[in-house]
Structure 1
Amino acid sequence: MEKEFVVIGLGRFGGSIVRELNKLDIDVMAIDSDEARVNEYADIATHAVIADSTDETVLKSLGIRNFDHVVVAIGDNIQASILTTLILKDLGVAKVTAKAQNDYHAKVLDKIGADTVIHPERDMGRRLAHKLSNSSIMDYLELADEHSIVEIIAGPKLEGMSLLDLDLRANYGLNIIAIKRNGHITVSPDPGEYIQRGDILIVIGHDNDLGRFESKLEDN
């Protein structure tokens, strides 16, 4: 069966989730206390509802516990975000993803049971900083516990080297998990694979080790 989603908070972040789910032909209920915002998504979401998500009775009446995944995308009211998340978990919602405004907000969301806590503005800032600071970096995705995945485009320094020659695991504690080449992806590439200019290396590892490798690529 297809999953059903709820997005609470229809600012730029929550609204973008609703739009993308709609493009994927996935059922989504959109909730906000602002009538104008709800009207904006009336023709996009499967259901668009004006409601106060901090009112447990209202959420119960919407059958919120029957949905597979609820995204709390409230961006301008930390108290409402926390209370909404708490109510959702108390009502037995299986999966709750909540947007955090800052580290303190994230800690509270985590402690009250949010299954996933995201920092969209902070994460986007970090991704942009990595791309701006190093011309070899195409994309950067932060994982948990100070580990990340980075897409690195192979330039002259890497061209012609085999993965065995590069030996990122021994030299930097990193692992190349895939190579993108001419629109094709090779997962767990052979150590004897030679790197071609323009290859995109998908590398995973600790942030400090990734930083050392990125610096090496920028040297000289």
Structure 2
Amino acid sequence: MKREFAVIGLGRFGGSICRELSEEGMDVLAIDTDEDKVNEFKDIASHAVIADATDENALKELGIRNIDHVIVAIGDNIHASILATLILKELGTKTLTVKAQNDYHEKVLNKIGADHVVHPERDMGRRIAHNIISNNILDYIELSDDHSVVEVKAGSKMRGKSLIDLDIRAQYGCNVVAIKRNRDIIVSPRATENIKESDVLIVIGADIDISRFEKHLVVEED
């Protein structure tokens, strides 16, 4: 059955989520106080309405409690973001994802019951930092405050060696959960699997361990 989403706040972040969900065929209710932004999404989202998310009655009238997943992507107004989150929790929102502006905002959102808190500027900064460390680091995804997944291209120190030879788990405390090889994905690769030049390794572990792994095996020397 098709899931229903609501996106509150149609700035760059919320607007991007709204577009992607709509392109995936989801039912999306787009909400903003700015009429121009709402008009921009009226032909993209299933429904686009002008409403104040800090007005409990307005949210009730929109039937927000029947929505499967609500994303609060309010821009710079932290007070409005927190108040909207509180109201949505009291209304019994099933799943609530909220954008945080800073670490303090994130702590408050976690305290008042947001199911997922995203910090796009910080998280993107971390991903970019890891990507620019080396051309071999393709992506970096934070799983929690201290665990992540990194996607790396096999460097010269890894090519031609097996996972046993590299001993990544014992040496660095990380696990290679999959290998992308051209169009194939090898899930839970065998320890005897040899790393090839075009391979991309998907590695999971604690940030401190991933950092050691990157410095010793991934980053190429000039």
The TM tier, using the shorter chain, reads over 0.9
What residue number does 2:25 align with? 25
Which residues of 2 match residues 1-220 of structure 1 at below 5 A? 1-217=1-217, 218=219, 220=221
Question: Which amino acid counterpart does residue 54 of structure 1 have in structure 2?
Answer: T
Q: Counterpart amino acid of 2:47?
A: H
- How has the CA–CA distance of structure 1 residues 85 and 29 changed in structure 2, closer, same or farther, with 3 Å as cutoff? same
Deviations 1:165-211 (A, max 9, x none): 11111000000000000111111011110000120000001111111
SS at match of 1:82: helix
Residues 91-126 of structure 1, C-alpha deviations (whole Å, 9 max, x = no match): 001100000000000000011110000001110110
Length-normalised TM-score, structure 2: 0.97
In structure 2, how many angstroms separate the alpha carbons of the residues matched to 1:117 and 1:104? 12
The list of structure 1 runs, each at least 4 consecutive aligned residues, that deviate by more than 4 angstroms after superposition, is none
Measured after TM superposition, the shift of residue 145 of structure 1 is 3.4
Q: What amino acid is the match of 1:47?
A: H
| Contact 1:155 1:198 (8 Å CA) reproduced | no
User: Paired residues, what number?
Assistant: 220
Question: Deviation at 1:79?
Answer: 0.4
Partners in 2 of 1:77 and 1:28 — Cα distance?
23
The AA in structure 2 aligned to 1:22 is S
Q: Residue type matched to 1:197 in 2?
A: E
- TM-score of the pair, normalised by structure 1: 0.98
Amino acid at match of 1:208: I
Which consecutive unaligned segments of at least 5 residues does structure 2 have?
A: none
3-state SS of 2:130 partner: helix
Find the aligned partners of 2:215 and 2:166 in 1 and give their Cα distance.
Answer: 15
**In 2, Cα distance between the equivalents of 1:151 and 1:99?**
25
For 1:199, the aligned partner's letter is: D
Identity %: 65
> Using a 3 Å threshold, how does the CA distance of structure 1 residues 219 and 45 change in structure 2: closer, same or farther?
closer
**Deviation for aligned residue 1:155:** 2.0
Structure 1: which amino acid aligns with 2:66? Answer: N
- SS of residue matched to 2:169: helix
Contact 2:155–2:220 (Cα < 8 Å) also in 1 = no
How well do the aligned residues superpose, as a CA RMSD in angstroms? Answer: 0.9
Q: Structure 1: which amino acid aligns with 2:74?
A: I
- Say whether the 8 Å CA contact 2:27–2:45 is kept in structure 1: yes
Contact (CA 8 Å) 2:156, 2:220: kept in 1 or not? no
8 Å Cα contact 1:153-1:201 kept in structure 2: yes
Task: Quote the Cα distance in structure 1 between the aligned partners of 2:34 and 2:74.
Answer: 12
